[in-house]
Amino acid sequence: MKTRSLIFALAAGGSVLFSGCSKGLQVSVEDATEVALDDSNNLQDNVTNLEAKEDGNKYKVSFTVDSGTYQYTINKDGIIEDCDYEKNNGEAAGQEQKSETSKEKKQESESAPEGMISKEDAVTAALNNAGLSKEDVTDLDAKLNSAKTEYTVEFDFGDSRNQVTVDAASGEVLSSVFI
C-alpha cells in the first residue's frame, strides 16, 4: 500500500521527502542546488552566476537574483547548514552598514555571558537562516534562555511570524518555525 501511495503521489506531480529511509543517504550537487533554489523561492531560470560545487562533505551553492546574492552551505544529506543573503544596497551604504554592525556587535558581545554569542549575533544567524535582513522584518525580538543556553529570536515577515532557536554557544540555528 505504501508503494502505491508513493507512485500515486509522484504520478500526480507531487513531491515526496524521504526522511530516515536510508542511513548515509547523500544528495548530488544538482539536488543541493535545487534545495538552495527552493529555499530562496527562486527558479534556476531566474538566477545568474549560479555556482554549485562539492567542498569536502558539503556543497557550496551561490547565485545572484535581482535583489541580491545567496550563498548556501548544504550538507550531503540535503540539510541546509548555512545561508547567507547579501542584499543589493549599493557599495557606500553597505560599507556604512558594516561598520555600524561591527560597532553594535562589539557593544552586544561585551554584555553577552562568557562563552556565549551576543544577542546581535543570534539575530544575524536567525535572519541569515531565513535569507532576510533587518530591513525586511518587523517586530524583531531576541531573548536569551541561559538555562538552555539558547536564544529565541522572533520576527514578522509579511503575514508570517517566525520563531528561530539559536544555540548560544555556537551560533548554530537549531530550529525555525512559523508561529
CATH of the domain spanning 113-178, picked from 3.10.450.40, 3.40.50.300, 3.40.640.10, 3.30.950.10:
3.10.450.40
Q: Encode pLDDT of 85-104 as tens digits.
A: 888 765 433 333 444 444 44
Q: Encode pLDDT of 7-63 as tens digits.
A: 443 444 444 444 444 456 788 999 889 888 888 888 888 899 999 999 888 999 999
Contact 67, 79 (CB under 8 A): no
Cell numbers 546581535 correspond to 120
Predicted confidence at residue 142, as pLDDT, reads: 93
Predicted confidence at residue 146, as pLDDT, reads: 76
Q: Encode pLDDT of 72-81 as tens digits.
A: 999 888 888 8
- Is 50 exceeded by the pLDDT of residue 127? yes
Other C-beta atoms closer than 10 Å to the C-beta of 168 total 23
Predicted confidence at residue 111, as pLDDT, reads: 61
**HEC per residue, the chain:** CHHHHHHHHHHCCCCCCCCCCCCCCCCCHHHHHHHHHHHCCCCHHHCEEEEEEEECCEEEEEEEECCEEEEEEEECCCCEEEEEEEECCCHHHHHHHHHHHHHHHHHHHHHCCCCCCCHHHHHHHHHHHHCCCHHHCEEEEEEEECCCCEEEEEEEECCEEEEEEEECCCCCEEEEEEC
Cell of 168: 548560544
Predicted confidence at residue 23, as pLDDT, reads: 52
Q: Indicate the fold that domain 21-87 takes in CATH.
A: Nuclear Transport Factor 2; Chain: A, (3.10.450)
Q: Are 21-87 and 113-178 in the same CATH fold?
A: yes
Domain boundaries, the chain: 21-87, 113-178
Contact 61, 51 (CB under 8 A): yes
Predicted confidence at residue 172, as pLDDT, reads: 93
Alpha carbon 117 to its chain's center: 18
Q: Encode pLDDT of 136-148 as tens digits.
A: 999 999 999 878 8
Give the span between the Cα atoms of 86 and 70, in whole angstroms. Answer: 7
* pTM (two decimals): 0.41
Predicted confidence at residue 24, as pLDDT, reads: 62
